[in-house]
Amino acid sequence: MSILLNAPGSGTAINPAMTGAQTSPVNAGAEQPVLQTINLTKYVDTPTGPLNIMNNVNLAVRSGEYVIIYGTSGSGKTTLINAIAGLDRPSAGSIIVGGRDIVKMSDRELSHYRMAALGIVYQDTNILDALSVLQNVEMPMTLAGMPEERRRPQALKMLEVFHLSHMANKMPSEISAGEKFRVALARALVNSPLILLIDSMIDYLDARTADDVMENIRFINEQTGLAIILTTNNPNFIHYPHKVVYMSGGQVSRVVENRPLRRSQ
Protein backbone atom coordinates (compact mmCIF):
# COMPACT_ATOMS: atom_id res chain seq x y z
CA MET A 1 0.00 0.00 0.00
CA SER A 2 1.35 3.42 -0.92
CA ILE A 3 1.61 6.17 1.66
CA LEU A 4 1.22 9.80 0.67
CA LEU A 5 3.72 12.10 2.34
CA ASN A 6 3.11 15.82 2.65
CA ALA A 7 5.85 18.00 1.24
CA PRO A 8 7.17 20.85 3.43
CA GLY A 9 5.15 24.02 3.31
CA SER A 10 2.32 22.71 1.18
CA GLY A 11 -0.64 20.38 1.09
CA THR A 12 0.88 18.38 -1.77
CA ALA A 13 2.32 14.93 -1.36
CA ILE A 14 4.94 12.47 -2.54
CA ASN A 15 3.97 8.88 -3.14
CA PRO A 16 6.94 6.58 -2.39
CA ALA A 17 5.95 4.39 -5.34
CA MET A 18 6.73 7.32 -7.62
CA THR A 19 10.39 7.25 -6.61
CA GLY A 20 10.84 3.50 -6.52
CA ALA A 21 11.28 3.70 -2.74
CA GLN A 22 9.63 1.80 0.08
CA THR A 23 7.37 3.25 2.74
CA SER A 24 10.18 2.63 5.25
CA PRO A 25 13.41 4.59 4.62
CA VAL A 26 15.53 1.45 5.07
CA ASN A 27 14.69 -2.06 3.99
CA ALA A 28 15.70 -5.24 5.76
CA GLY A 29 18.65 -5.67 3.42
CA ALA A 30 19.90 -2.11 3.79
CA GLU A 31 23.32 -3.27 5.00
CA GLN A 32 24.01 -4.30 1.40
CA PRO A 33 24.97 -1.19 -0.62
CA VAL A 34 22.59 -0.18 -3.37
CA LEU A 35 25.69 1.28 -5.04
CA GLN A 36 29.34 0.40 -4.57
CA THR A 37 32.44 1.60 -6.41
CA ILE A 38 35.58 -0.51 -6.09
CA ASN A 39 39.03 0.96 -6.85
CA LEU A 40 37.46 3.23 -9.45
CA THR A 41 40.14 4.90 -11.56
CA LYS A 42 40.05 7.20 -14.56
CA TYR A 43 43.05 8.48 -16.47
CA VAL A 44 43.50 10.40 -19.71
CA ASP A 45 46.41 10.26 -22.08
CA THR A 46 48.53 13.40 -22.35
CA PRO A 47 51.73 14.16 -24.31
CA THR A 48 53.70 13.49 -21.12
CA GLY A 49 51.90 10.26 -20.28
CA PRO A 50 48.71 9.14 -18.47
CA LEU A 51 47.11 11.66 -16.11
CA ASN A 52 44.93 10.31 -13.30
CA ILE A 53 41.77 12.35 -12.76
CA MET A 54 40.21 9.77 -10.42
CA ASN A 55 42.25 7.26 -8.46
CA ASN A 56 41.07 4.19 -6.53
CA VAL A 57 37.77 5.65 -5.36
CA ASN A 58 35.86 3.31 -3.05
CA LEU A 59 32.33 4.36 -2.14
CA ALA A 60 29.34 2.51 -0.71
CA VAL A 61 25.82 3.96 -0.59
CA ARG A 62 22.99 2.07 1.09
CA SER A 63 19.29 2.21 0.33
CA GLY A 64 17.87 5.32 1.97
CA GLU A 65 21.25 6.97 2.42
CA TYR A 66 21.89 10.60 1.51
CA VAL A 67 25.54 11.28 0.61
CA ILE A 68 27.23 14.54 -0.34
CA ILE A 69 30.48 14.39 -2.28
CA TYR A 70 32.34 17.56 -1.37
CA GLY A 71 35.40 19.04 -3.04
CA THR A 72 36.74 21.98 -4.99
CA SER A 73 36.60 22.24 -8.77
CA GLY A 74 38.84 19.59 -10.29
CA SER A 75 38.63 17.25 -7.30
CA GLY A 76 37.01 14.47 -9.33
CA LYS A 77 33.37 14.89 -8.22
CA THR A 78 31.84 15.15 -11.69
CA THR A 79 34.09 12.42 -13.07
CA LEU A 80 32.75 10.12 -10.35
CA ILE A 81 29.11 11.07 -11.03
CA ASN A 82 29.57 10.56 -14.78
CA ALA A 83 31.05 7.11 -14.13
CA ILE A 84 28.16 6.12 -11.84
CA ALA A 85 25.74 7.37 -14.50
CA GLY A 86 27.44 5.24 -17.14
CA LEU A 87 28.23 8.32 -19.19
CA ASP A 88 32.01 8.07 -18.83
CA ARG A 89 33.68 4.66 -18.66
CA PRO A 90 36.39 4.35 -16.01
CA SER A 91 39.87 3.12 -16.90
CA ALA A 92 39.78 0.54 -14.10
CA GLY A 93 37.59 -0.61 -11.22
CA SER A 94 33.97 -1.64 -10.78
CA ILE A 95 30.61 0.04 -10.16
CA ILE A 96 28.13 -2.40 -8.64
CA VAL A 97 24.44 -1.45 -8.78
CA GLY A 98 21.78 -4.02 -8.00
CA GLY A 99 24.37 -6.78 -8.05
CA ARG A 100 25.66 -5.94 -11.55
CA ASP A 101 28.89 -4.25 -12.60
CA ILE A 102 27.79 -1.45 -14.93
CA VAL A 103 31.36 -1.06 -16.19
CA LYS A 104 30.82 -4.34 -18.07
CA MET A 105 27.51 -3.27 -19.61
CA SER A 106 27.06 -2.55 -23.31
CA ASP A 107 25.99 0.91 -24.44
CA ARG A 108 22.44 -0.39 -24.89
CA GLU A 109 22.40 -1.89 -21.39
CA LEU A 110 23.74 1.37 -19.96
CA SER A 111 20.96 3.31 -21.66
CA HIS A 112 18.38 1.01 -20.06
CA TYR A 113 20.20 1.28 -16.70
CA ARG A 114 19.98 5.07 -16.78
CA MET A 115 16.31 4.91 -17.69
CA ALA A 116 15.34 2.31 -15.09
CA ALA A 117 17.64 2.98 -12.13
CA LEU A 118 18.77 6.60 -12.15
CA GLY A 119 17.43 10.10 -11.83
CA ILE A 120 20.09 12.61 -12.88
CA VAL A 121 20.23 16.39 -12.45
CA TYR A 122 23.19 18.32 -13.83
CA GLN A 123 24.16 21.92 -13.18
CA ASP A 124 22.83 23.07 -16.57
CA THR A 125 19.54 21.16 -15.91
CA ASN A 126 19.22 20.06 -19.58
CA ILE A 127 15.67 21.43 -19.64
CA LEU A 128 14.42 21.36 -23.24
CA ASP A 129 13.49 24.87 -24.38
CA ALA A 130 11.04 23.65 -27.04
CA LEU A 131 8.89 21.78 -24.49
CA SER A 132 6.61 23.09 -21.76
CA VAL A 133 7.38 22.50 -18.09
CA LEU A 134 4.88 19.63 -18.02
CA GLN A 135 6.28 18.07 -21.19
CA ASN A 136 9.80 18.26 -19.76
CA VAL A 137 8.72 16.37 -16.63
CA GLU A 138 6.89 13.82 -18.80
CA MET A 139 9.95 13.21 -20.99
CA PRO A 140 11.43 10.16 -19.15
CA MET A 141 8.04 8.45 -19.27
CA THR A 142 7.59 9.43 -22.92
CA LEU A 143 10.95 7.84 -23.77
CA ALA A 144 9.90 4.74 -21.84
CA GLY A 145 6.81 4.44 -24.06
CA MET A 146 4.24 5.22 -21.36
CA PRO A 147 0.91 6.42 -22.85
CA GLU A 148 -0.16 9.99 -22.18
CA GLU A 149 -3.15 9.01 -20.03
CA ARG A 150 -0.75 7.36 -17.56
CA ARG A 151 2.20 9.75 -17.68
CA ARG A 152 0.25 13.03 -17.49
CA PRO A 153 -1.25 12.49 -13.97
CA GLN A 154 2.11 11.31 -12.61
CA ALA A 155 3.92 14.34 -14.03
CA LEU A 156 1.29 16.70 -12.63
CA LYS A 157 1.59 15.13 -9.18
CA MET A 158 5.34 15.60 -9.21
CA LEU A 159 4.91 19.24 -10.23
CA GLU A 160 2.64 19.66 -7.17
CA VAL A 161 5.38 18.34 -4.91
CA PHE A 162 7.79 21.00 -6.16
CA HIS A 163 5.17 23.80 -6.10
CA LEU A 164 5.19 24.10 -9.89
CA SER A 165 1.61 23.16 -10.83
CA HIS A 166 0.78 26.71 -11.86
CA MET A 167 3.71 26.66 -14.30
CA ALA A 168 2.82 23.40 -16.07
CA ASN A 169 2.06 25.09 -19.41
CA LYS A 170 4.83 27.68 -19.26
CA MET A 171 7.92 27.42 -21.46
CA PRO A 172 11.42 27.28 -19.90
CA SER A 173 12.12 30.83 -21.13
CA GLU A 174 9.28 32.04 -18.90
CA ILE A 175 10.56 30.65 -15.60
CA SER A 176 13.50 31.48 -13.33
CA ALA A 177 16.76 29.55 -12.92
CA GLY A 178 15.62 28.22 -9.54
CA GLU A 179 12.34 27.03 -11.03
CA LYS A 180 14.24 25.27 -13.82
CA PHE A 181 16.23 23.35 -11.23
CA ARG A 182 13.00 22.27 -9.51
CA VAL A 183 11.63 21.13 -12.90
CA ALA A 184 14.83 19.12 -13.38
CA LEU A 185 14.38 17.49 -9.96
CA ALA A 186 10.75 16.65 -10.74
CA ARG A 187 11.78 15.13 -14.07
CA ALA A 188 14.56 13.10 -12.41
CA LEU A 189 12.15 11.60 -9.88
CA VAL A 190 9.12 10.97 -12.06
CA ASN A 191 10.33 7.66 -13.53
CA SER A 192 10.82 5.92 -10.16
CA PRO A 193 14.62 5.78 -9.90
CA LEU A 194 16.66 3.68 -7.51
CA ILE A 195 19.30 6.39 -7.08
CA LEU A 196 19.14 10.18 -7.53
CA LEU A 197 22.37 11.82 -8.75
CA ILE A 198 22.67 15.62 -8.44
CA ASP A 199 25.86 17.18 -9.80
CA SER A 200 26.75 20.68 -8.61
CA MET A 201 23.32 22.17 -9.37
CA ILE A 202 23.07 23.74 -5.91
CA ASP A 203 26.31 25.67 -6.40
CA TYR A 204 24.73 27.84 -9.09
CA LEU A 205 21.61 28.93 -7.19
CA ASP A 206 21.18 31.97 -4.98
CA ALA A 207 21.34 31.19 -1.26
CA ARG A 208 17.58 31.31 -0.59
CA THR A 209 16.66 29.16 -3.59
CA ALA A 210 19.44 26.70 -2.79
CA ASP A 211 18.21 26.31 0.78
CA ASP A 212 14.67 25.67 -0.46
CA VAL A 213 15.87 23.04 -2.94
CA MET A 214 18.07 21.38 -0.29
CA GLU A 215 15.08 21.12 2.04
CA ASN A 216 13.11 19.43 -0.74
CA ILE A 217 15.96 17.00 -1.37
CA ARG A 218 16.26 16.16 2.32
CA PHE A 219 12.51 15.67 2.57
CA ILE A 220 12.48 13.31 -0.42
CA ASN A 221 15.28 11.26 1.11
CA GLU A 222 13.82 11.09 4.61
CA GLN A 223 10.27 10.29 3.59
CA THR A 224 10.77 7.97 0.61
CA GLY A 225 14.07 6.24 1.37
CA LEU A 226 15.55 7.10 -2.01
CA ALA A 227 19.36 6.90 -2.12
CA ILE A 228 20.75 10.33 -3.06
CA ILE A 229 24.26 11.38 -4.11
CA LEU A 230 24.83 15.13 -4.43
CA THR A 231 28.07 16.90 -5.31
CA THR A 232 28.92 20.40 -4.14
CA ASN A 233 31.81 22.74 -3.42
CA ASN A 234 29.74 24.76 -0.95
CA PRO A 235 30.49 24.00 2.73
CA ASN A 236 27.14 25.50 3.80
CA PHE A 237 25.34 22.32 2.72
CA ILE A 238 27.46 19.58 4.28
CA HIS A 239 25.20 19.31 7.36
CA TYR A 240 22.27 17.97 5.28
CA PRO A 241 23.28 14.37 4.43
CA HIS A 242 23.94 11.22 6.43
CA LYS A 243 27.58 11.36 5.41
CA VAL A 244 30.03 13.56 3.54
CA VAL A 245 32.68 12.12 1.24
CA TYR A 246 35.55 14.59 0.83
CA MET A 247 37.42 14.39 -2.48
CA SER A 248 40.74 15.98 -3.40
CA GLY A 249 42.99 15.34 -6.38
CA GLY A 250 40.70 12.61 -7.68
CA GLN A 251 40.80 10.64 -4.44
CA VAL A 252 38.63 10.23 -1.36
CA SER A 253 40.51 12.04 1.40
CA ARG A 254 38.08 11.32 4.26
CA VAL A 255 34.50 10.36 5.06
CA VAL A 256 32.52 12.07 7.82
CA GLU A 257 29.25 10.67 9.16
CA ASN A 258 26.79 13.34 10.26
CA ARG A 259 24.20 10.92 11.64
CA PRO A 260 23.41 7.22 11.35
CA LEU A 261 21.04 5.94 8.73
CA ARG A 262 17.67 5.23 10.35
CA ARG A 263 16.85 1.55 10.30
CA SER A 264 13.51 -0.20 10.05
CA GLN A 265 12.31 -2.06 13.10
- What does the alpha-carbon distance between residue 130 and residue 135 come to, in Å, rounded to a whole number? 9
pTM of the model: 0.83
pLDDT given at position 8:
46
For residue 25, tell me if it sits in a domain: no
Domain span holding position 191: 32-257
For residue 20, tell me if it sits in a domain: no
For residue 200, tell me if it sits in a domain: yes
DSSP string, the chain: ----EEPTTSS-EE-GGGGT--SSSS-TTTTSEEEEEEEEEEEEEETTEEEEEEEEEEEEEETT-EEEEE--TTSSHHHHHHHHTTSS--SEEEEEETTEEGGG--HHHHHHHHHHHEEEEETTTT--TTS-HHHHHHHHHHHTT--HHHHHHHHHHHHHHTT-GGGTT--GGGS-HHHHHHHHHHHHHTT--SEEEEESGGGGS-HHHHHHHHHHHHHHHHHH--EEEEEES-GGGTTSSSEEEEEETTEEEEEEESSPPP---
For residue 188, tell me if it sits in a domain: yes
pLDDT given at position 211:
86
Amino acid at 166: H
For residue 5, tell me if it sits in a domain: no
For residue 3, tell me if it sits in a domain: no
**Integer-rounded Cα radius of gyration of the chain:** 18
pLDDT given at position 202:
78
For residue 73, tell me if it sits in a domain: yes
pLDDT given at position 10:
43
The CATH number of residue 111's host domain is 3.40.50.300
245-to-80, 112, 148, 258 alpha-carbon distances in Å: 12, 28, 40, 11
Low-confidence ranges of the chain (pLDDT < 50): 1-30, 265
pLDDT given at position 171:
96
For residue 128, tell me if it sits in a domain: yes
Domains of the chain: total: 1
